[in-house]
Homo-oligomer: A and B are copies of this chain.
Amino acid sequence: MPNDRYAAISGQQFIGGQRRATGEAALLSLRADDGQPTGYRFHQATAAETSAAAEAAAAAFAPYSQLSAEQRANFLDAIAEELDALDEAFFAFAMQETALPPARLSGERARTSGQMRLFATLLRRGDVEGVRIDCALPQRSPLPRPDLRQYRTALGPVAVFGASNFPLAFSTAGGDTAAALAAGCPVVFKAHSGHMITAELSAQAIERARKRTGMPAGVFNMIFGNRVGADLVQHPAIQAVGFTGSLQGGRALFDLATRRPHPIPVFAEMSSINPVVILPQALARRGQHIAQELVSSFTLGCGQFCTKPGVIVALRGAAFDRLAETMSALVNAAEPQPMLNTGTLEHYSHGLAALDAHPGMRRLAGRSETPPHRVTAQLYQAEEALLLQADPLLQQEVFGPASILVAVNSEAQLHAALSALQGQLTATLLADDGDLDMAAGLTTLLARKAGRVLFNGYPTGVEVCDAMVHGGPYPATSDARGTSVGTMAIERFLRPVCLQNTPAALLPPPLQDANPLNLLRLVNGVFTRDPLVSPAPN
């Protein structure tokens, strides 16, 4: 039965600061551990409610986007505080819904509130405005130059679809929501069906922060339900989409969004096999250690990371054989684990079945029998031809604790194999000092394939900071120019505006001569925090 302290889990939509539900309470919250109901039910959003949520966001857009960066930063800080105040009962629900262990969930909460605070810092630092000023040149010949001042402003209401595997950090109050809110864009969040209680309690935390800081109703909205995403991305009020999930799901939303009468950008983080390349000296000198690290990396969190190493490539030889042997032993010893939800579990089974059925693929290790609602790690080896010929099976992410070894015959074949890869979130080189010459050429090649290239590490940790890129060429994402982790994520939701010959009285603070916000501005081709010497016209 429901916990009394959370009797307020109403399972209704969050629309314009109100809770509403006209649809049936047909959506069951399920336990990840055994697929049984938790006892909570959620209301399917109706088409009218989906529209109302988009319209509430549209109504909030004008007032919210005009707030100062400092006011938005205070809102984000307040959300962080509310998230940090979530208690043990919240974690108990999240654990029930996702089977993620308590330490992982509390670490993820810290990351989620930290993310909100980082965007608040970014807003106060002032690099969001991206101010560029070219002063008037009234005497220039043949034509005078007008006064031109550029800043960046919010794109409009954003629809966000969160991930199952980060029920906090990439869900309701997660990275895309934080980036959109920081940019000045109201959000309509589609609650993930895999963790609806977690979503509801997170949304309540955002709403408490909204009220405390006096933000407009409708700056954050959330709807529950199946098949509401299509209506949402097609609603004329929505101006951009953030998505984390499968290639199929992301591409479907991309197709809908780009076929609208007024197309909108979609930032979908989708599918990556995250190749790891072990160079010869590293393999020879520390192959056994690498074997342990690799198995730890691809089975960590039951392999449920977008950056899980899905393909491991090295040169053929005795060292490769020893690597495969050690990894096989470790994989065979791996314990069965629960996955995030029944859907994820089924996808993993289907993924393995497709690998098993491929004639160029050989299963090296992994138990074939598992208890109900549990999976185990699996290790495969693929013929190198699959990489060289860009076989679709090998390019496809298998979400879960499976990875594929590939031995290539030569450095030239390694180049050819990596050149045939599709776009990736990450690519990793494990290299010792003696490998550096080979690594140099591969770095350049992999930087053309991936958003992040790592040395002597494993890609599953994604730091939230200024320099992070969690993005990459298709199908890793739908737009290689964006990142969904790190401060640069905000750029996806901003657009530039230029004001020409604007009277001083009408200039927003970032553009004023005196530079009252002390921003770093590009003035007449030079970056400076100095005030302007020549006054604005008028």
Tell whether, in the assembled complex, residue B501 and residue A150 are in contact, meaning their CB atoms are under 8 Å apart: no
Chain A window 417-450, contacts with chain B (Cβ cutoff 8 Å), 1 for yes, 0 for no: 0000011000000010000100110011001101
* Inter-chain contact A132/B62, CB cutoff 8 Å: no
Q: Is A295 an interface residue (CB 8 A)?
A: no
- Closest Cβ–Cβ distance, residue A239 to chain B (whole Å): 8
Q: Complex: how many Å from CA A501 to CA B121?
A: 25
Q: In the complex the two chains form, is A146's CB within 8 Å of B481's CB? A: no
A168 at the binding interface (Cβ < 8 Å) = no
A480 near B: Cβ within 8 Å? yes
Known: A443-B506, A453-B499. A142 touches B107 (CB 8 A): yes
Contact between A134 and B262 (Cβ–Cβ < 8 Å)? no
**Which chain A residues (251-299) contact chain B, with CB distance < 8 Å?**
254-255, 258-259, 262-263, 265
Residues from chain B with Cβ under 8 Å of A386 in the complex:
none
Measured in the bound complex, the distance between the Cα atoms of B127 and A525 in whole Å is 10
Complex interface: chain B residues within 8 A of A496 (CB): 451, 469, 471, 481, 483, 488
Distance, CA A499 to CA B501, complexed state (A)? 42
Q: Is the CB of B474 within 8 A of A263?
A: yes
Contacts of A145 in B (CB 8 A): 463, 465
Contact with B along A465-503 (1 / 0, CB 8 A): 111110101110011110100001000001111111111
How far is A259 from B149 in the complex, measured between Cα atoms in Å? 36
Q: Which residues of B contact A461 (CB under 8 A)?
A: 143, 146
B469, A522: Cβ atoms under 8 Å? no
Q: Does A527 contact B (CB under 8 A)?
A: yes
The docked-state distance in angstroms from the alpha carbon of A501 to that of B458 is 11
Write the chain B residue with the least CB distance to A449. B497
- A505 within 8 A of partner (CB): yes
Indicate whether A133 reaches chain B with its CB closer than 8 angstroms. Answer: yes
Q: Are B439 and A506 in contact (CB under 8 A)?
A: yes
B436 and A503: CB pair below 8 A?
yes
Interface string of A195-224 (1 = CB under 8 A from B): 000000000000000000000000000000
A150 touches B502 (CB 8 A): no
Whether a CB of chain B sits under 8 angstroms from the CB of A68 is no
> Would you call B498 and A455 a contact (CB within 8 A)?
no
Known contacts A455-B501, A469-B150; A475/B258 CB under 8 A = no
If A474-B263, A478-B263 touch, whether A127 touches B522 (CB-CB below 8 Å) is: yes
**Chain B contacts of A454 at CB under 8 A?**
146, 500-501
Whole-angstrom CA separation of A461 from B456 in the bound complex: 53
Given contacts A145-B465, A436-B505, contact A66 B444 (CB under 8 A): yes
15 chain-A/chain-B pairs, Cβ below 8 angstroms: A62-B444, A127-B522, A143-B461, A145-B463, A258-B258, A263-B478, A439-B503, A451-B497, A453-B500, A455-B499, A457-B500, A466-B522, A469-B498, A471-B496, A481-B495
